[in-house]
Structure 1
Amino acid sequence: MTDSPSMQELMRRRRRARFVGRRDELADFRANFTTAPEDERRRFLFNIHGDAGVGKTLLAEQFQRLAREEMGALTARVDEKPEGLVATLESMVRQLAPKGAAKHFDKALASYQQQLRDAQAAAGPIEEGPSTGGKLVAGMGLAVAQSLPVVGPLASAVSTEQVSQAAHRVGTAINERAHAVDPVPPGPAEALTPPFVALLHRLAGEVPWLALFFDTYERTEPFLGKWLLELVEGRYGDLPSNLVLTVAGQRRLPPGDWSSCLEAMAYVPLLPFTEEEAERLLGRRDPQLGPFPPPRH
C-alpha cells in the first residue's frame, strides 16, 4: 500500500488544472468572503443555474475548493446521491464533523429512526396497491415515507406519486390505531433540523467560514426545496453569519418563492463557453498543457 494518490484523485487534479473560464464568477465568490456581514453587498446564498452540460457541478466544486483552501472554510457538498432529507442531513453532518463530534444530532437521528420503526411496526409493511386517495396525513410527508422500510415494487421509490400514496396508507393505518400507539412521528425537518442548526452554530465559532453546497438541485428540489427555503428564512433557528450557501441546478430559484431572500442572494447564470474557452477546454490553445496527445494505434 503506497501513499501515492489514486487514479480518481489524479483525474480530479487534472480536471481542476484544465478549468477554464468562469473567472468573473470565481472572483465574485472570492470577494464575498472579504465583505463584512453587515455590508449590504454581502451575499449569503449563491444560485448557480444553467442548461445541462454548461459546467455547474465543476463551478460548484471550484467554489468549494476556493472556500476551503483559500478562505479556511469548513465545507460540505451534497448532490442527488443521498435519497431524501434524512440522508442529506446525515451526509452533511458527516462531512462537517468527525465521527462522534455531533452527538446531539446523532441522538436526534437515532430517536427519529426509532420512531419510524415503531410507526412501521404499528402500520404493517407497505405493499403495492391502489391509492386510498385524499391528502397526506399531518406529519407523514414524502421524506418520511422515503425513510420507511418498503416491500414489493415500491421498494425502488420510482415516483413521487407512489411514495406519496405509501405515506398516505401508513398515516391512515397509524391514525386508525391511534388508541394503541404513540402519536404520528414528526417529519425529518422538524426532528433533525434544529440539532443540525445547533451544530452549525457550534462549528461557526471554531472556523472562519462555513460553506454548504447543494448540487444537481433539479433532482433534489422535491424533498429539499421547501426545507431549504425554511432553513434560510429561519424557521428552525437563526443561522450563523459566517455561513455561505450555494445551490446549483438547471433552473434558478424562483424569485417569487424566494422573495424574502433576494437581497442576500446572488444569481449565477451559466452560459455555454465562448469559442475561445471551448478551444482552451479542448487543449488547442492551453499554453501550459498544450493539445491532447494523438491516440496510439
Structure 2
Amino acid sequence: MSFYNKESLQFIRRRRQQEVFRGREKELTLYQENLARDVEDEERKFLFIVTGPQGSGKTLLLRRYVDVLAAAQGVSAWIDESAEDLLEAMMQLARQLAKFDEKAFKPLFQRHALYQKRMKELMADPAGQKPPPFVAFGGMVAKMGLHIGKKIPLSGLIFRLVDEEQVEEQMKNWSAFVATKLKNKEEERLLQEPLEVLTSLFLAGARTLSASHTVGLFCDSYERTAVYLDGWLRGLLDGHYGDMPSNIVLTLAGRTEPDPERWQRFHDITTCVPLGPWE
C-alpha cells in the first residue's frame, strides 16, 4: 500500500472536527457577521460570552472563532486554566500577540523582566523575612490582581477566603518596604503597582497591533480562571489601565455566565452565546 500523496494528519483532524461541529453554524455565523461590522456600527459587539455544560463544545467553538478571525486577517491570543495566576495569563496573551508584532510588546517584556529581577532581590532580603513575611505577600500583588491603596478587585470567592482588612494591612506593609529598598521611583511603582504598570504596557502593545489587525482575546475555562481574571478583564473594559482599542473582541467561555451584577454594565457591547446539547 502506498502512503504517498495522502492528506496530512492535521488536515484530517480539521476535517473531522468540522464534521463534528455541524449544528453550531448559527453561533459561528454570529461571530463572522460581527467581525464584518465596522467598530462604529451600533450592532458591533466587543464581548462574546459562551456558556454551556461540560461537553457542549465551548472550546471547539472558540477554536472555530480563532479560525474565522484568522480568515479575516485578524490575530488572536488564548488563555485557559494553564495560566495559574493573573500575571502569567497576561504574559501568555502578550507572548502570543508578540508573534505578530514583537516590537509593540518589547517595552512590556523589558518591564516584566525587571519586575521579576527586583522581586527576586527583595525575596532574598533578610529584612523582608521578619514577621510578618510580607515579601512573600508582595508576589501576590500582581498574581492575584491586588491594588495598593485601592479597593481590592477580587471576586466574591476570594473575599470569602481571606480577611480583607488583613490583606489591606499587608499591602501597606509591602508598599512601605518597597519604598525603603528602592530609590528609583519608576521601579518603586512597578513593585507597588505591577498590574497598573504592566497592563498599561500590554494595552499599548495591543493598540499598536490593532491598528492593522482585529485582535481576538479568548479566555477558555472561565469558571476556573475567573477567580483571578474577572476583576482585571472588567478593568480593561472600563479603561482602568488605559484606553482599550476598539478593534479588539474579547471572548469568554465557561459553564455559567460571569457574575451578572459585575458584568451588567457591559450589556450594550455583549453577545451571549448559550450552548445547549448538540443537535
Give the TM-score category using the shorter length.
0.7 to 0.9
TM superposition shift of 1:11: 3.3
Partner of 2:24: 22
Q: Is the 8 A contact 2:218 2:252 kept in 1?
A: yes
The residue aligned with 1:119 is: 122
Measured in 1, the distance between the counterparts of 2:13 and 2:106 equals 36
Counterparts of 2:258 and 2:171, CA distance in 1: 31
Distance 1:216 1:140, change over 3 A: closer
Q: Determine the structure 2 residue equivalent to 1:280.
A: none
| Residue from 35, 47, 55 that aligns with 1:45 | 47
The correspondence for 2:192, drawn from 175, 186, 202, is: 186
Aligned partners of 1:32 and 1:43 also within 8 Å? yes
Considering only aligned residues, what root-mean-square deviation do their CA atoms show, in Å? 3.7
1:118-267 to structure 2, matched below 5 A, reads 118-122=121-125, 140-141=140-141, 143=143, 174=174, 180-182=180-182, 185-207=191-213, 209-267=214-272
Distance 1:212 1:121, change over 3 A: same
Distance 1:60 1:177, change over 3 A: closer
Q: Closer, same or farther in 2 for the Cα pair 1:212/1:176, shift >3 Å?
A: closer
Q: Is the 8 A contact 1:144 1:188 kept in 2?
A: no
- Deviations, residues 108-158 of structure 1 (Å, cap 9, x unaligned): 1112212321331236898xxxx97xxx9899537169xxxxxxxxxxxxx
Residue identity in the other structure for 2:211: G
After superposition, the Cα gap between the structure-2 partners of 1:255 and 1:14, relative to the gap in structure 1 and judged at 3 Å, is: same
1:260 match: secondary structure: helix
**2:81 maps to amino acid:** E
Q: Which runs of 5+ in 2 are unaligned?
A: 1-5, 146-156, 183-187
- Larger helix proportion of the pair: 2
SS at match of 2:124: helix
Q: Percent identity?
A: 32
Going from structure 1 to structure 2, the CA distance change for 1:82 and 1:178 (only over 3 Å counts) comes to closer
Can you give the 5+ residue segments of structure 1 that lack an aligned partner in the other structure?
146-158, 278-297
Report what 2:79 is aligned to. 78
State which structure, 1 or 2, has the greater radius of gyration over its C-alpha atoms.
Answer: 1
Kindly report structure 1 stretches of 4+ aligned residues shifted beyond 3 Å. 4-13, 123-126, 136-142, 159-162, 167-180
Kindly provide the CA deviation profile for residues 176-208 of structure 1, in whole angstroms up to 9, marking residues without a partner as x. 85685236823442131101000011101122x
Aligned in 2, Cα 1:5/1:217: closer, same or farther, shift over 3 Å?
farther
Number of residues paired by the alignment? 249
Residue 6 (structure 1) shift? 7.6
User: Which SS does the other structure have where 1:47 is aligned?
Assistant: strand
Kept in 1, the 8 Å contact 2:78–2:219? The answer is yes
In 2, Cα distance between the equivalents of 1:36 and 1:123? 56
State the AA in 2 paired with 1:83.
E
Q: What residue identity is the alignment partner of 1:245? A: L
Shift of 1:61: 0.8
8 A Cα contact 2:235 2:241, kept in partner: yes
* Distance change (3 Å), C-alpha of 1:258 and 1:139: farther
Q: Partner of 1:95 in structure 2?
A: 96
Q: Which residue of 2 aligns with 1:293?
A: none
| Structure-2 separation of matches of 1:223 and 1:117 | 22
Matched residue type, 1:192? L
TM-score of the superposed pair, with normalisation by structure 1: 0.71
Secondary structure at the residue paired with 2:108?
helix
